[in-house]
């Protein structure tokens, strides 16, 4: 991986994330980070995650997650819960409304993502990197 290729990936990702994020915001009123957090919470055992784990799974900082969960809480899509055994810890828990919203947004996310990637692959500037991304590591 050289810097040139990395820079292409970065620009490609900016474009794709932009499109998907706009679609989520317009149709479901949530941001990309909101959606991804909801998804991680929904799939977590007990529908809950510690702030740190949510940060690791979303690629955000601790403080970003702290504010993200406040947003979700305000929207009624998640709530915070204290950790019983370690009272420094805080769980983010997805609510039924949150689960519902995530289900609604799911198809939008996947469709918008596919479309954005297809557009990128059709653009000569990204054709190579867009198709290359699809291929996995040593396993194929």
Site membership for its own copies, residue 1 (CB under 8 A): yes
Under the binding rule (CB under 8 A), the answer on residue 52 touching its own copies is no
DSSP three-state, residue 27: helix
Nearest distance from residue 129's CB to its own copies, in Å?
7
List 1, 2, 45, 87, residue binding DNA (CB under 7 A): 87
Residue 104 has φ and ψ, to the nearest 5°, of -60, -40
Best CA proximity match to 87, nearest among 48, 50, 58? 50
Evaluate whether 80 touches 90 at the Cβ level (below 8 Å): yes
Paired with 48 in beta bridges are 93
**One of 60, 75, 99, 113 touching DNA (CB under 7 A):** 60
Which phi and psi (to 5°) does residue 51 adopt?
A: -50, -45
How many residues bind DNA (CB under 7 A)? The answer is 27
Question: Which span sits near its own copies by CB under 8 A: 22-30, 72-80, 92-100, 126-134?
Answer: 126-134
Residues 6+ apart with CB under 8 A from 108: 23, 24, 27, 28
Minimum distance of DNA from residue 55's CB (angstroms): 7
Of 27, 31, 57, 115, which one interacts with DNA (CB under 7 A)? Answer: 31
Position among 30, 48, 57, 63 found at the interface with its own copies (CB under 8 A): 57
- How far apart, in whole angstroms, are the C-alpha atoms of residue 15 and residue 12? 5
Binding site for DNA (CB under 7 A): 14, 18, 22, 31, 33, 50-52, 60-71, 80, 83, 86-90
């Amino acid at each position: 991986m050289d810097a040139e290729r990395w820079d292409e990936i970065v620009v490609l990702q900016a474009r794709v994330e932009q499109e998907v994020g706009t679609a989520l915001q317009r149709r479901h009123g949530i941001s990309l980070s909101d959606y991804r957090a909801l998804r991680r919470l929904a799939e977590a055992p007990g529908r809950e995650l510690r702030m740190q784990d949510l940060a690791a799974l979303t690629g955000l900082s601790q403080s970003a997650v702290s504010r993200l969960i406040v947003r979700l809480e305000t929207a009624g899509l998640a709530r915070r819960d204290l950790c019983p055994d370690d009272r420094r810890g805080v769980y983010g828990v997805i609510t039924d409304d949150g689960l519902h919203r995530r289900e609604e947004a799911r198809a939008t996310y996947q469709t918008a993502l596919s479309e954005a990637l297809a557009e990128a692959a059709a653009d000569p500037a990204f054709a190579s990197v867009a198709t290359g991304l699809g291929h996995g590591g040593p396993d194929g």
